[in-house]
Structure 1
Amino acid sequence: MELEVRHLRALCAIADAGSLHKAARQLGVSQPSLTTQLRRIERALEGELFLRERTGCRPTPFGRTVLGRARPLLAEMDALVAEARAQAHGPRLRIGSTASRALPGWLRRLHRRLPDTETTLVVDVSGNALLRMVAAGQLDVAFVHEVEGFPLRVPEGLQVRVLMEREPQFVSMSPDHPAARNDVVHLRELADDRWMVDPSVDGEWDGLRRVLAEAGLDPPLLHADYHTAASLIVSGEAVAPCQPTSGAREDMAIRPLHGDPLAVRLLLATRPGSHAEAYADLREAYREVALSTPSYRAWLRRAGSPLLESA
């Protein structure tokens, strides 16, 4: 078996994700397929690259040596492809983002500012994956959120600007939930509820578990993506953290949490000296959607947020 670029990319994905399950999801393949591919690579190199543990995978000393050679090769290959495509297709802006209601307004502003530039968008639940794509030359900018207490792994050489130092996370629940009668919800009011979290979102599972533990709560946790979970929340089967910009729905109540125990930091990452205009447009797009959400607008006013000031 001859090693190819895709094999090196798979090894780096496993090392960065820390588990075959997460790496397979990021690569868009099944876990059994990725496991089989890893075994073939290890046979070809005649050495074990990862230690399989209960909590995930970590590189062996031999694996770290291979990864140390693979990463620069992948970076050079990605840069070559990016430069070739840019010359072939003309001006292009490749955007990556975790989920946000600010995306449509951001794209609209960028299209208006750069009418002759082709814009592409990649949405991923993993901020770490998007940052790696910027570092590798696969994306030009990435808008990501970082769960408080669980920092993202920012590759060396990226320029990172802070959009929101601390964005509170609200809670979504059935409108029939007793706590939905209140404008602000205490965690103790949700002590008997099942909490839903997407473990593939970097830091989300650990952040929620820490906050609940600090409040003395140990509720059952459900693992699912947030789109699938909406039906569980509406039916009263679960509650879940949500972004404060989440739009109002008749079948779902969204409330701030007392003391704002859950929070994220919003970041925009680029390569140094590039696409400075993207930050200003993102800030205005985020401000627009924040002020259009009554509960979040009220929170920003109570906090005296500088976001209330127009650029």
Structure 2
Amino acid sequence: MDLELRHLRIVRAVADAGSVSKAASLLGLAQPALTAQLKRIERLLGGTLFERDRHGARPTRLGELVLARARVLLPAAKELQEEAVRFAHAPSPGFRIGATNGPILGGLVDRLATERKVSTYTSWSARELNGMVEMGRLDYVLTGACGDSGTPTGTLLWETISLDPVFCLVRDAHPVAREKEVELADLADEQWAVTPGDGCFADCFAMACARSGFTPGTIYETDVPTCVHLAQVGRAVVLCQATHQAAPGLTMIPLAGAPLRWRQLLGRHPTAPEAAWVVAQAKQAHMDAVRRSPVYSDWLVRNPGYGTAP
């Protein structure tokens, strides 16, 4: 016989009532039946739980241990049951999407919200978001990885939404701002800004710089508004996804030869709702972002093999 919640309820009832007879009355049982059950529980737990005499029943040291656990487990079990009932009868939560910094989340939410309720959670950490999907706290995660890295490991199911080059943002007055594209080596003396992440992008950037013959200077790892500001005041060149929409005062320029590439990925829980439709909407959102970027659209004409995944 295994220990069950009903056994803990009996132990708690006897302790709260102070005697087996009073506990039996409260539980609606005959005293002999409750006494027999209590003995079976004591055999299961390996010792006496109560010292009983004409004054009532008092917990033994083992009884105190069991009671301490019971007073935690029983309310927790009740709360779990109530929460499960509420969840089962609640309206559909819709799509729960997590995302790192990226230019297509807004478009995806806009498309999904035409059919279902959408909630979002953003983080710089793809690992955090992946874990939340694995635990069932999110349905989908929109994230990315360096072009040559593998698909994330774990229990999630993954779709490639796009393969994009990494471009750079410079202020309009920058010497290269009127160029069609720029060699990475021509930016060797610059400071850099990039949004944070827990993937391999920093290492890939360092290797790309090494292949171009230089070691990058200061790299500001910060949020999007700060990256934009540093570029606008001429403090840094910003590395950005090609679908990024340049802010006023900034020009987006392709890096010659696409030395850095970025894959947009959509991961999902195995039970995520309407997976095929959500994947299709993510790809459409990416296509929309490409159409809004004349620089990227023009670049794609000259560089087939990139853009939205088929």
- TM-score interval w.r.t. the shorter chain? 0.5 to 0.7
Alignment of 1:188-207 (within 5 A): 188-207=185-204
1:217 aligns with 2:210: no
Q: Which residue of 1 aligns with 2:103?
A: 101
How far did 1:149 drift? 4.3
Q: Which residue of 2 aligns with 1:231?
A: 229
Distance 1:85 1:221 in 2: 52
Equivalent position amino acid for 2:240 in 1:
C
Identity %: 27
CA contact (8 A) 2:182 2:254 kept: yes
Local SS of the residue matching 1:177: coil
Distance 1:81 1:223 in 2: 48
Q: CA RMSD in A?
A: 2.7
Q: Which residue of 2 aligns with 1:161?
A: 159
How far did 1:281 drift? 0.8
Q: Which residue of 1 aligns with 2:287?
A: 287
CA contact (8 A) 2:161 2:308 kept: no
How far did 1:300 drift? 2.1
Alignment of 1:9-20 (within 5 A): none
Alignment of 1:20-39 (within 5 A): none
Structure 2: runs of 5 or more not aligned: 1-79
CA contact (8 A) 2:145 2:262 kept: yes
How far did 1:158 drift? 1.3
How far did 1:273 drift? 5.3
Distance 2:306 2:81 in 1: 41
TM-score by length of 1: 0.66
Please say which structure displays the higher CA radius of gyration: 2
Q: Which residue of 1 aligns with 2:16?
A: none
Structure 1: runs of 5 or more not aligned: 1-78
Local SS of the residue matching 2:255: coil
Q: Which residue of 2 aligns with 1:271?
A: 269
CA contact (8 A) 2:146 2:204 kept: yes
Alignment of 1:1-311 (within 5 A): 86-92=87-93, 93-114=95-116, 118-151=117-150, 153-155=152-154, 157-164=155-162, 166-225=163-222, 226-272=224-270, 274=272, 275-276=274-275, 277-305=277-305
Q: What do residues 172-222 of structure 1 show as CA deviations (whole Å, max 9, x unaligned)?
A: 112111111201011121011112234444223222112111211113123
* Counterparts in 2 of 1:301 and 1:82: CA distance versus 1, 3 Å: farther
Q: What do residues 73-101 of structure 1 show as CA deviations (whole Å, max 9, x unaligned)?
A: xxxxxx99997774253212210112222
How far did 1:123 drift? 1.2
Local SS of the residue matching 2:119: strand
How far did 1:301 drift? 2.2
TM-score by length of 2: 0.66
* Counterparts in 2 of 1:84 and 1:242: CA distance versus 1, 3 Å: farther
CA contact (8 A) 2:147 2:261 kept: yes
Equivalent position amino acid for 1:209 in 2:
A
Aligned residues: 227
CA contact (8 A) 1:172 1:253 kept: yes
Q: Which moved more, 1:279-288 or 1:121-130?
A: 121-130
* Counterparts in 2 of 1:301 and 1:87: CA distance versus 1, 3 Å: farther
Equivalent position amino acid for 1:147 in 2:
C
* Counterparts in 2 of 1:305 and 1:112: CA distance versus 1, 3 Å: farther
CA contact (8 A) 2:232 2:250 kept: yes
Q: Which residue of 2 aligns with 1:3?
A: none
